[in-house]
Amino acid sequence: MKTDVLIIGAGLTGLTLGYQLKQKGIPFKIIEARNRAGGRINTIYSGQETPIEMGATWLSTEHKYLLSLLNELNIPVFEQFMSGIALFESLSTAPPQHFQIPANQAPSYRMSGGTSRLIDALIDYIGKDHIILNQVVKKIEHQENNEFQIYTNNAEYISGKVISTLPPKLLVNTIKFTLELPEKLISLANNTHTWMGESIKFGITFQHPFWRTQNYSGTVFSNVGPITELYDHCSVEDNKYALKGFLQSPLCHESEENRKSKVLSQLQKLFGDQVLHYVTYEELLWKNEKYTSCDTDQFLLPHQNNGNEHYQDGFFNNNFYVGGSETSRTYGGYMEGAILSANFIFKKIT
């Protein structure tokens, strides 16, 4: 299959770039290793169709390009519920501290119906014929005529320009280049933090938001764990109820049953026995997502090398670009960064 632009990865950067190319009438294809689009945007509709965000969730008024895109696609946002008592666990031997979130704190927002609504809207505009799933890129050849031959697990593609939107570390460790990438880029990518790479997210649904009736906001910060952060995760219509949060990273070595047991024990201690009447428990270990993370024991600081200037360079005669949220000069690791990366590359190739 031949095209003008081949985009590797159907996450937010890849789909936003496809959206822009479609508007300009430029031929392109998006290939995606997973059997779904969205990348690190992944909304699970669990327990009476309650949307639970296993990936990207929040945005703020500073995220102007994301808000502009949501406006274009008619996707409303709503303010994250933070009213009532928040809890802080400093020590396992001390009771949790109660405090009120300051009223003047800048609010966070969520997308009505779930963050995957953005992915679905982009796909609807782009057209499913432009997006090919289950395509694991194995090798990229840069040919003498300045075209690229891209080999996947079951297909071959030819393109004049190639855009990778994979996490940089994943790119340089899983795809073979017959004409090697610059050593500086490989070293940089191996030392670039992958957003969400070590996160464990979970969501737990209920028939009723019992915490609200007790004047709890659902917000928890804990040094004790296993939950490190927790938030109210009810739907915008306020008719589907959930709590959603993050677990300590070392728990990835335990079974799901053990993690769930520890979560319920902590929630019971914080909110009482009503948590035991949950409807569903969902979790996602991003470390185990082989199309996001690489197996490594290397410690990288959060956002380390995100937005590095070298990611703004073009390679192979400016026909190959490395994009994605981690490469954005601002808001690296956020949805806003993913869109800014798409905007930057679109200007470079058109």
CATH of residue 55's domain is: 3.90.660.10
What is the DSSP secondary structure assignment for residue 178, as one 8-state letter? S
Same domain for 189 and 129, yes or no, is yes
Domain-terminating residue out of 288, 309, 337: 288
Is 273 found in the same domain as 211?
yes
The whole-number mean pLDDT for each consecutive block of 10 residues of the chain, a chain of 350 residues, reads: 97 98 98 98 89 96 98 97 95 91 84 97 97 98 93 97 97 94 96 95 97 96 97 95 96 96 97 96 96 85 95 96 98 97 97
Domain match, 206 and 254 both: yes
Q: Cα 224 vs. chain centroid, distance in angstroms? A: 26
* pLDDT value at residue 135: 98
Q: Are residues 241 and 226 in the same domain?
A: yes
DSSP H helical segments within the chain, as ranges? 12-24, 64-72, 116-126, 168-174, 183-190, 210-213, 256-271, 335-349
Tell me, yes or no, whether 222 and 335 share the same domain.
Answer: no
Domain that holds residue 89: 43-114+198-288
Contacts of 259 (CB under 8 A, 6+ apart): 200, 202, 226, 247, 251, 283
Of 255, 288, 321, the last residue of a domain is: 288
Q: Which two tokens stand for residue 148?
A: 């690229």
If asked whether residues 128 and 23 sit together in one domain, one would say yes
Contact at 8 Å (CB) between 151 and 188?
no
Beta strand 2-8 with 156-164 is: parallel
- Total number of domains constituting the chain: 2
Q: Give the H/E segment covering residue 158.
A: strand 156-164
- Is the pTM higher than 0.85? The answer reads yes
pLDDT of residue 160: 97
